[in-house]
Amino acid sequence: MFFAPLAAEENPFALVVDPYWILVSIIQFLILYWLLRRFLWGPVTAALEDRARRIREGLDLAEASKVERERIKQEVEELLMQARREAAAIAERTTKAAEAAAADLRTQAKADADRVREKGREDAQHLHDQALAQLRTEVASMVVLAASRILGKEISADQNRALIERSLDEAGAELKQN
């Protein structure tokens, strides 16, 4: 107040500093600082701390998710490897079983073929023996008939048949040797 009238007289455009208004400004600033500190600073810092906490939790969750994802990826790879090994083992067992079944079928088919071949041989031998016996009988009858016509008398069929049978056996033995 002391300086204001002097400053106004010297220069109408001069800056006047009044200590009263300086004191009022300082008091207003302190009151505003106290009000901001009391009502605004706490909630703003709490909100910032809460936000920082949530960001840290989010980062921790992201890291945990990354670790869990890597663990699950490793488990999936292990399961795939195990499934591949099991599939290969199953394929190998199936192949071996198929080969064994094929070998059994081949063995059985060979045994069946051998059995059929042997039965065919036996049947052929039986038919051969029957044909030979029938041929002997017919040859013996024809020889007896021819001998009786040549001799002009009846020859005992049983005696001649025995003689012819013995001759045929001897002739068959000679044929087999040659």
pLDDT, one tens digit per residue, over 20-33 is 999 999 999 999 99
Q: Mapping DSSP to helix (H, G, I), strand (E, B) and coil, where does residue 123 land?
A: helix
pLDDT at 122 over 60: yes
Higher per-residue pLDDT: 142 or 92:
92
- Given this model, what pLDDT does residue 152 score? 61
- pTM for the model stands at 0.40
Q: How confident is the model at residue 96 (pLDDT cuts 50, 70, 90)?
A: very high
- Tell me: pLDDT of 2 over 60: no
pLDDT at 1: 44
How far, in Å, CA of 108 to CA of 101, rounded?
10
Position 118 pLDDT exceeds 70: yes
How many CB atoms sit inside 10 A of residue 144's CB?
20
